[in-house]
């Protein structure tokens, strides 16, 4: 490989505040030139904002509450949309003390530290007021700037390269406010901004509708199972009946939280008809393959790793590729297959979507066809619920690396409830997956719009027409305010 000794820079390429060589890497300079080539010109983010500010620095973890004013951290914007599912909260008093870092609907939020640089989101209408942590930056935009357009540009490949370029520090990279203000943003007419922003508004709404479907399914499942994981602080020895030994004599296997599983199965609530074992509900199952890490990215066969299989969904947008030499029919995922994480965290599980049909699966994943006797998404719901996770953790107890053998996998208990309820839970989770995948696709369309905007191939008239159609769709697809599941 030839070593590049240097490059020629034009006067417009040089930023007076940054004279470090890494800032002018060829790919970063070319990216900057591509942004500045926009047919509408560019403006700095600082000129599009009325205020750019750091998050609250003096909020301690013991000030976190279970309710109150949402306190947004990097975790809450990781997906590109604000989510409060695992959010912590501040008391009104703490929020008032830190009112200078409050954010409101249509404010832009950016992550400024470490591997999170480049994360961004817009505070949605459903969050009337929030506060942000010290790892985030808030941006109040001018009234004639569409926040979702700016967000869409930042999350595009052009925006991501620019964000990382302005990072400072090697050991602990971070973004400074002055650098963020220098970011170049295409100065598109407001009607173009709104049309592109509407795609992300739709993607966000789809995510919100998906979350509603998931919460509805989980609520329905929890009501039917009536299983609660209790907190056990007592460290005294526990007694276990001889018939409950399961062939295991290690103490870890008989922790009180695991004995709760035995108690549940022995005393089923009336809503549970029976308990099946997993091996009676699946067939043609097999573990995936383990390619050499040196072969990652060198072939043409799409490859699913455990990290690509989350709670109910599969990440298939930019799959790892491996040589076709590793192809094994038993390790090829097909639409409708159960994909279960069986090594490491052993938490993820999903039903293979059509977009991942034909992907090879990693050895940390167990794939199998699902019996027609059970809704595939209901099965995954049980296996990834608290009840299912405790079973898997118990089976892997005392392992240096958590791993589910085929024997323990097949013996996992699957409570069977009323058919209508099972199917409703399954349908809701299937809807969650469908909406989530659609959201990803719509967000990708906004990235395509940004590409066309910068290479001057954007059909503005068609874009504005589509934007108007999306506005109508948004009016017709509101997020329900309360969980209400009709069987």
Q: What is the mean pLDDT of residues 205-218?
A: 96
Ordered strands of the 320-322 beta sheet: 320-322, 301-304, 360-361
pLDDT of 400 above 70: no
Side-chain-side CA neighbours of residue 478 (13 Å): 6
Q: Can you tell me the distance from the alpha carbon of 150 to that of 152, in angstroms, rounded to the nearest whole number?
A: 5
Confidence at 485, pLDDT banded by 50, 70, 90: low
| Rounded mean pLDDT, 481-486 | 60
Q: Which residue has the higher pLDDT, 39 or 102?
A: 102
Query: Which residue spans of the chain are classified as CATH 3.90.220.20?
Result: 11-187, 233-268+272-417
| pLDDT band per the 50, 70, 90 thresholds, residue 484 | low
The pLDDT-based confidence of 10 (bands split at 50, 70, 90) is confident
Nearest Cα residue to 59 out of 42, 46, 79, 73: 73
Residue range 237-255: mean pLDDT, rounded: 65
- Would you state the pLDDT for residue 45? 98
**Average pLDDT, stretch 448-459?**
95
Mean pLDDT of the chain: 92
The pTM for the full model equals 0.91
Cα end-to-end span (Å), the chain: 64
Task: Dump pLDDT digits (tens) for 276-315.
Answer: 999 999 999 999 999 999 999 999 999 999 999 998 999 9
pLDDT higher than 70, residue 165:
yes
The answer to whether residue 430 scores a pLDDT higher than 80 is: yes
Fold designation for 233-268+272-417: Adenine-n6-DNA-methyltransferase TaqI; Chain A, domain 2 (3.90.220)
Confidence bin at 12 (pLDDT 50/70/90): confident
- In this predicted structure, what is the pLDDT of residue 105? 97
Of 126 and 253, more confident? 126
CATH numeric code, 11-187: 3.90.220.20
User: Left if phi > 0, otherwise alpha if psi is -120 to 50, otherwise beta: which for 54?
Assistant: beta
Q: What is the mean pLDDT of residues 113-128?
A: 93
Percent of the chain, pLDDT > 90? 77
Q: Residue 259, by phi and psi: left (phi above 0), alpha (psi -120 to 50) or beta?
A: alpha
1 pLDDT tier (thresholds 50, 70, 90)? very low
Q: Specify the pLDDT at position 241.
A: 58
Q: What Rg, from alpha-carbon coordinates, does the chain have?
A: 25
CA 48, chain centre distance (Å): 29
What's the pLDDT tens digit per position in 333-360?
999 999 999 998 898 999 999 999 999 9
pLDDT (0 to 100) of residue 231? 65
Distance from C-alpha of 231 to C-alpha of 237, rounded to nearest angstrom: 16
Contact 69, 89 (CB under 8 A): yes
Order the strands of the 311-312 sheet from edge to edge.
282-287, 365-370, 338-341, 349-351, 311-312
């Amino acid at each position: 490989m030839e070593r590049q000794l240097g490059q020629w820079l034009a006067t417009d390429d040089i930023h007076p505040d940054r004279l470090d060589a890494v800032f002018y890497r060829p790919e970063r300079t070319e990216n900057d030139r591509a942004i500045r080539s926009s047919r509408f010109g560019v403006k700095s983010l600082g000129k599009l904002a009325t205020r750019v500010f750091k998050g609250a620095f003096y909020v301690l973890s013991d000030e976190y509450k279970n309710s109150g004013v949402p306190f947004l951290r990097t975790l809450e914007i990781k997906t590109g949309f604000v989510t409060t599912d695992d959010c912590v909260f501040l008391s009104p008093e703490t929020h008032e003390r830190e009112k200078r870092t409050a954010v409101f609907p249509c404010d832009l939020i950016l992550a400024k530290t470490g591997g999170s640089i480049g994360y961004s989101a817009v505070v949605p209408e459903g969050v009337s007021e929030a506060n942000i942590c010290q790892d985030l930056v808030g941006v109040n935009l001018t009234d004639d700037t569409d926040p979702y357009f700016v967000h869409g540009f930042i999350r595009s490949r052009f925006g991501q390269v620019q964000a990382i370029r302005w990072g400072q520090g090697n050991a602990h990279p971070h973004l400074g406010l002055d650098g963020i203000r220098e970011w170049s943003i295409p100065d598109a007419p407001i009607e173009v901004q709104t049309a592109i922003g509407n795609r992300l508004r739709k993607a966000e709404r789809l995510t919100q509708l998906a979350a509603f479907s998931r919460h509805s399914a989980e609520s329905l499942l929890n009501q039917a199972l009536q299983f609660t994981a209790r907190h056990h602080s007592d460290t005294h020895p526990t007694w276990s009946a001889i018939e409950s030994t399961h062939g295991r004599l290690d103490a870890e296997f008989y922790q009180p939280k695991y004995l709760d599983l035995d108690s549940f199965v022995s005393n089923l609530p009336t809503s549970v008809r029976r308990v099946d074992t997993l091996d009676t509900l699946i067939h043609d199952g097999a573990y995936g393959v383990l390619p050499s890490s040196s072969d990652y990215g060198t072939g043409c066969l799409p490859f699913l790793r455990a990290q690509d299989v989350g709670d109910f969904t599969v990440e298939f947008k930019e799959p790892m590729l491996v040589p076709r030499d590793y192809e094994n029919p038993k390790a090829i995922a097909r639409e409708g297959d159960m994909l279960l994480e069986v090594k490491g965290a052993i938490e993820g599980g999903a039903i293979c979507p059509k977009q991942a049909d034909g992907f090879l699966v990693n050895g940390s994943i167990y794939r199998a066809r699902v019996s027609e006797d059970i809704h595939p998404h209901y099965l995954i719901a049980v296996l990834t619920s608290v009840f299912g996770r405790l079973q898997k953790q118990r089976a892997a107890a005392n392992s240096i690396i958590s791993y589910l053998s085929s024997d323990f996998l097949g013996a996992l208990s699957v409570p069977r409830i009323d058919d209508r309820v099972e199917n409703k839970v399954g349908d809701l989770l299937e809807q969650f997956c469908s909406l989530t995948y659609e959201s990803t696709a719509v967000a990708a369309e906004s990235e395509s719009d940004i590409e066309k905007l910068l290479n001057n191939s954007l059909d503005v008239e068609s874009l504005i027409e589509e934007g108007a159609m999306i506005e109508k769709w948004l009016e017709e697809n509101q997020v329900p305010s309360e969980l209400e599941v009709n069987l």
